[in-house]
A = this chain, B = another copy of it.
Amino acid sequence: MADVISRADATQGRPSGDSGRLIAEPLSVDERPEITFVELLFFAYRDFTSDPDAVLAAYGFGRAHHRVVHFVNRHPGIRVADLLDILNITKQSLGRVLKQLVDGGFIEQVQGPQDRRQRLLYPTETGRALGLRLMAPQERRIADALEALSPEERQGAERFLRRVIDSDQRDMVERLIGS
């Protein structure tokens, strides 16, 4: 358990099975250096998203609720269609969690003043508080990670993440985050 991968077993040549159909050679970082980042992204995101889970569980919510609460707090008055665009999910998926958030008093829908078909989404005070509470551990984690980095290294982290995003989505992200 402590070792996670016991090298003795993991690199022990040909398995005793039968033919040559099995492969004992590991994919190596030496040959494919990008694997490092592939796996770091996996582990970093896994831990990063685990932060809010405990908080969410107390409310009976999941990660989907978190995402909705987050972006409504970031963009009060956002239209449903725009939220769908950001989250890349379907109306039905959003509808379920949104209903729970509205019922629970975290988000309210306001009829659009110009276009009355729209239901603009606003956080309530409770919803804002929840959003902050969910983000707090993530902010701390990010701040701790950045702390040890030089300014140019920080810039590298940010530029890297921006360029991992689909090129045709970067403008939208830039507009959402600011750049």
Q: Is A74 an interface residue (CB 8 A)?
A: yes
Chain B nearest CB from A90 CB (Å) reads: 15
Bound state CA distance, A86 and B161, in angstroms?
23
Bound state CA distance, A160 and B155, in angstroms?
10
Chain B nearest CB from A133 CB (Å) reads: 12
Determine whether the beta carbon of A110 is less than 8 Å from that of B22.
yes
Determine whether the beta carbon of A146 is less than 8 Å from that of B160.
yes
Given contacts A25-B76, A108-B22, A156-B155, contact A86 B41 (CB under 8 A): no
Chain B nearest CB from A101 CB (Å) reads: 13
Q: Size range of the interface on A?
A: 35 or more
Determine whether the beta carbon of B141 is less than 8 Å from that of A27.
no
Determine whether the beta carbon of A5 is less than 8 Å from that of B82.
yes
Q: Mark A126-160, 1 if CB is under 8 A from B, else 0.
A: 01100110010011011111101110111111111
Q: Is A58 an interface residue (CB 8 A)?
A: no
Q: Which residues on the B side are within 8 Å of A120 (C-beta)?
A: 9, 15
Determine whether the beta carbon of A22 is less than 8 Å from that of B124.
yes
Bound state CA distance, A79 and B15, in angstroms?
13
Between A1, A88, A138, the greatest number of chain B beta carbons within 10 A of the residue's beta carbon is seen for A138
Determine whether the beta carbon of A149 is less than 8 Å from that of B156.
yes
Interface residues of A, Cβ cutoff 8 Å to B: 1, 3-6, 8-12, 15-17, 21-27, 29, 32, 34-48, 50, 67, 73-79, 81-82, 85-86, 88, 108, 110-114, 118, 120, 122-125, 127-128, 131-132, 135, 138-139, 141-146, 148-150, 152-166, 169, 172-173, 175-178
